[in-house]
Structure 1
């Protein structure tokens, strides 16, 4: 009896292994022109179908390049789809019952796609031998975080925030900032500014023809800086004021261009997304274009949204060659990824796609089931219409010859939770998605999800006024979390401004020069209205005509809110003890405006000159310490227009900048604290003025 049971067990084991084992293969050296075969794929539902394949030849471009098999597709399925279409990628191709490779791509863009390339199986098998350093999150000391099962989720969801805090405390960094006594920025400030000004290459936005007159534009300033032929303009421009938010957006555009993918695919890789309305889809598309990706809207996830009692994971999942499969970067209320076909399975390892999706090598994406809703055959560009299913594993390789993954092992991910309150509709919505940990794509996807959350809640174009508060749980800062809040107004698209600082903060964390930054959670609250809540500074009058160094002076600042009566606020200001005798000029401005020289010397924009000179913590502090758009700020300035010798005034400003650059971080913070005073308002302050007071010893 025991022998019988052992025999049955062995038979079942052998059956299971054979079902998950690789079929025999045929290499390119064995292929001959004219050989006939077939490919297996799914064009609707889960039913596999096949189409005929004729081998034309093998393309070999020499050492270092991957071989490709040129073939012709024919048969009823191909007639229906008008050739090989997006989504068939990865479909296994067999000749004489042996696997020769995977459908990769059609030939060219201007021919009917009946001829196509096959990626040889011998090239794809190399994927399984490649190192997988991202099996441990960020190459750090944090063990791989598995997505919880349904039971684990229900047990721990009430203690989620507490668990995050414990995790942060456990893995806090030991080296958190630039050590005291060491200069965060190398070199003298004047040389630093000259280097930046001579090498700055910031793309300007297209000319705006219908912009509110109250919004200060910076295109001309940036254009002047870009014009290297002007040798006498740069010094003067150090005293010009710019919109800091606009500058950050331009900086992010520059950073995106610098990181643009050099992978020369025959076309932009289609990324299927759900949850994004038209405005949000356009926003996402603009950000993904530098990643060689184009988003297309598709259906929602088959599984329930995160937070419901249905699990997002399918336990003990299996796949077989020819099945559809999803490679997903974000899932939940908003999803993003690509679908293709499984080429081969061996045990818990899979191969698919037959080409790269992002061409980023070792990756950390969700592997999901995929549901093929149908096929849209085009004359030149057909596509399978599909949606993502439940999570079944982790995609760990994204190479030229295909993608590789592991079933029933899950990637580390970052939850992004967004709460949006729309004042016009009296409506509040909460959205949750998880982003697979990928430092390159995380800032783009997180900011796009916040933008899309605003768009879906308001159900209109995102013009108006917004307040945002975001918290990033990370061990990169001593407190274990980075927080920032601000207020924005734009007559066309306030959403892009709302997410700018969040994008920049995540970008700094994801480009840490010293070590990977562990990001454990992103939480965002947005309060949103279509009303314009801006105000202009009309006047700022001191309560006394003369003052001594160290003396307190109250400035009565009159504001003109948009379509409302004037209001007056009082801002106390202490005259610096080092202030010289004579007329003291002060600047009264909205917190969103800053002198160009000041922002160029900060760590807000990454240039070849300052790479590795400021730590990630220093850069985050630059954002944290920025004045807010709804603040009125009073600080000393130079009355350049009244100076007979403008060059002297500029030199004094640069000298002061040089002295500040030599200070320690603590000294610099104390210096700035003692030189300015500010107060918060309920309005975005959209201008700046100058006032003065007479100083007597």
Structure 2
């Protein structure tokens, strides 16, 4: 009888716009060891199939207000495959009532024993805030994959298949450790490669069906797969665990079909491909992801153009990627790295120059340029640092800086372009207000190359007597000073953030920083040198104190090499 009811439910769900009443929910307190139930998932194509679940017990309070139902699964291919990656979210029912979703498993287990996330925890986690479009938020590093101690073994979240199509193998190897640590299993191939189609038949996702969260589409594509747990009206819950626990988000999802299963002792997963667009994931919480059926998501257009220093036809990549405080910077890094790796060598000496442009919601586009040169790993360095301004924007929380489009022009050279600071000196050791001091710099490159640059600084009228310092430095060192101040006093407005981003120093020139050894204050993101004692006392409670006072910064002429090194020289100011 139960199988007949299940078959009728599946057939009803296959209609174009069919909707069924959501099943009753079974409280965790009613779930007892020895009970048997049925789960739903897809093993082949788009057909939802049934598997069996025998309740072994309840692991109570394994986390803050979290409990896990332990169950032994059977049926279908599970005896051979064990718990599959891609099964996350598969609903389990007892007497027709939904108890939760398959969400965790034991690594290297000989039996398909799973941890089931109680459905009440899934719904509560995703209903803490509204399912309205998300505001920008301050970001953080990728969270670690959750795990719970169960005796001497560890119960871990089932890894989410993270399909990457069009990416080079080195990209998977380079970013794999970061992704796996976050519970995402990078796989090169099919799922991300398919392009979802419009939902012209007005299909609705059903519990047990596969979905693919589409993070990037186009010439490079990324998708993450799981299973639908519960549908109530136009609301949907899936996975049974977090994606990245990013909170409110905006990620489109599509229905997916299973092409085949790959079974192994260490890693068994579903190989799937996306089909029709279905809606948008709006919540990414610790116990579930949740969203709305039929809702559309605005993606960020991304264009990469790759050129060689020696000439030849450029190579273009065009994609759309999600606007998410955690995923956007990561996806951009992977795309930049892969674009260079797929057509250029990533080992050995080399240099990469990047010109970037970001269209934002309000105001003119933000632009930045950078050159990266290294004996080994220039593309890796480029991918991380070229994406840093984008990470700052998506995590800033300022609506006017919401990214609307990104364009990167990349030039690759097979030789290093590096100049190291060899010497720095001043034209005079003593000076008075009104005098001009010339700072001379000498930079050394390969094969005995020497490059000299000079900068002039006029001592301001009224400057008090004492030592005046000139630090000749490179862009990273100068940015570290500015970035340290940025951390202690984050920008309070979009205008300050825009000034900070546009003021980032570029590595293909040196800088002369003029400063004195006297305290200054950082107030609302602005440096205030030489504060009178009375004003300093008033501002002390709302400011950060800095040990040195920056007076000026003079950029040296720009070139096509990466400048490195730092040296400080001193001039004594006389009355």
Relative to the length of structure 2, the TM-score reads 0.76
Is the 8 Å Cα contact of residues 37 and 53 (structure 2) preserved in structure 1? Answer: yes
Q: Aligned-pair distance for 1:530?
A: 2.2
Is the 8 Å Cα contact of residues 119 and 354 (structure 1) preserved in structure 2? Answer: yes
Give, in whole Å, the separation in 2 of the partners of 1:491 and 1:391. Answer: 45
Q: 2:168 aligns with which of 242, 256, 277?
A: 277
Aligned partner of 2:80 in structure 1 is 80
Give secondary structure in 1 for the equivalent of 2:447. Answer: coil
Q: Aligned-pair distance for 1:532?
A: 0.7
Aligned partner of 2:560 in structure 1 is 682
Q: Check if 1:298 corresponds to 2:184.
A: no
Give secondary structure in 2 for the equivalent of 1:356. Answer: coil
Give, in whole Å, the separation in 1 of the partners of 2:215 and 2:161. Answer: 10
Is the 8 Å Cα contact of residues 455 and 461 (structure 1) preserved in structure 2? Answer: no
Please list, as runs of the form range in 1=range in 2, the aligned pairs for 1:396-407 lying within 5 A after superposition.
396-407=282-293
Q: 2:221 aligns with which of 335, 348, 369?
A: 335
Is the 8 Å Cα contact of residues 501 and 623 (structure 1) preserved in structure 2? Answer: no
Is the 8 Å Cα contact of residues 112 and 380 (structure 1) preserved in structure 2? Answer: no
Give, in whole Å, the separation in 1 of the partners of 2:420 and 2:145. Answer: 46
Q: 2:133 aligns with which of 132, 136, 151?
A: 136
Give, in whole Å, the separation in 1 of the partners of 2:431 and 2:312. Answer: 49
Is the 8 Å Cα contact of residues 301 and 389 (structure 1) preserved in structure 2? Answer: no
Q: 2:245 aligns with which of 346, 359, 364?
A: 359
Q: Aligned-pair distance for 1:458?
A: 1.7
Q: 2:156 aligns with which of 259, 262, 267?
A: 267
Give secondary structure in 2 for the equivalent of 1:489. Answer: strand
Structure 2, gaps ≥5 residues long? 1-11, 149-154, 531-548
Q: Aligned-pair distance for 1:21?
A: 0.9
The Cα offsets for residues 39-75 of structure 1, whole Å up to 9 and x where unpaired, read as 3322233344333333445555599735544332223
Give, in whole Å, the separation in 2 of the partners of 1:371 and 1:459. Answer: 36
Please list, as runs of the form range in 1=range in 2, the aligned pairs for 1:496-645 lying within 5 A after superposition.
496-512=380-396, 517-538=401-422, 550=434, 559-563=443-447, 565-567=449-451, 571-578=454-461, 586-594=470-478, 598-599=481-482, 602-603=485-486, 606=487, 610=488, 612=490, 615=493, 617-636=495-514
Give, in whole Å, the separation in 2 of the partners of 1:62 and 1:497. Answer: 40
Aligned length: 535
Give, in whole Å, the separation in 2 of the partners of 1:256 and 1:46. Answer: 36
Give secondary structure in 2 for the equivalent of 1:661. Answer: strand
Q: Aligned-pair distance for 1:562?
A: 1.7
Give secondary structure in 2 for the equivalent of 1:456. Answer: helix
Please list, as runs of the form range in 1=range in 2, the aligned pairs for 1:302-381 lying within 5 A after superposition.
302-304=193-195, 313-315=198-200, 316-381=202-267
Aligned partner of 2:354 in structure 1 is 468
Q: Aligned-pair distance for 1:38?
A: 3.3
Q: 1:432 aligns with which of 295, 306, 318?
A: 318
Q: Aligned-pair distance for 1:680?
A: 0.6
Structure 1 283/388 Cα, relative in aligned 2: closer, same or farther at 3 Å?
farther
Structure 1 17/25 Cα, relative in aligned 2: closer, same or farther at 3 Å?
farther
Aligned partner of 1:653 in structure 2 is 517
Q: Aligned-pair distance for 1:364?
A: 1.9
Q: Aligned-pair distance for 1:493?
A: 1.4
Give secondary structure in 1 for the equivalent of 2:335. Answer: helix
Q: Aligned-pair distance for 1:691?
A: 6.8
Give, in whole Å, the separation in 2 of the partners of 1:338 and 1:65. Answer: 27
Q: Check if 1:118 corresponds to 2:116.
A: yes
Structure 1 131/688 Cα, relative in aligned 2: closer, same or farther at 3 Å?
closer
Structure 1, gaps ≥5 residues long? 1-12, 141-251, 305-310, 638-651, 665-670
Q: Which has the higher contact order (CA 8 A, sep 6+)?
A: 1
Give, in whole Å, the separation in 1 of the partners of 2:344 and 2:109. Answer: 44
Is the 8 Å Cα contact of residues 246 and 326 (structure 2) preserved in structure 1? Answer: no
Q: 1:109 aligns with which of 92, 107, 110?
A: 107
Is the 8 Å Cα contact of residues 86 and 161 (structure 2) preserved in structure 1? Answer: no
Give, in whole Å, the separation in 1 of the partners of 2:569 and 2:383. Answer: 33
Q: Aligned-pair distance for 1:565?
A: 4.7
Give secondary structure in 1 for the equivalent of 2:511. Answer: strand
Give, in whole Å, the separation in 2 of the partners of 1:26 and 1:674. Answer: 66
Give, in whole Å, the separation in 1 of the partners of 2:14 and 2:452. Answer: 83
Structure 1 331/390 Cα, relative in aligned 2: closer, same or farther at 3 Å?
farther
Q: Aligned-pair distance for 1:394?
A: 0.6
Give secondary structure in 1 for the equivalent of 2:156. Answer: coil
Relative to the length of structure 1, the TM-score reads 0.64
Structure 1 118/371 Cα, relative in aligned 2: closer, same or farther at 3 Å?
same
Give, in whole Å, the separation in 2 of the partners of 1:328 and 1:408. Answer: 15
Aligned partner of 2:327 in structure 1 is 441
Query: Which structure shows the bigger proportion of residues in helix conformation?
Result: 1
| RMSD of aligned alpha carbons | 4.5
Give, in whole Å, the separation in 1 of the partners of 2:504 and 2:127. Answer: 48
Q: Aligned-pair distance for 1:355?
A: 3.1
Give, in whole Å, the separation in 2 of the partners of 1:594 and 1:361. Answer: 34
Structure 1 573/376 Cα, relative in aligned 2: closer, same or farther at 3 Å?
same
Give secondary structure in 2 for the equivalent of 1:488. Answer: strand
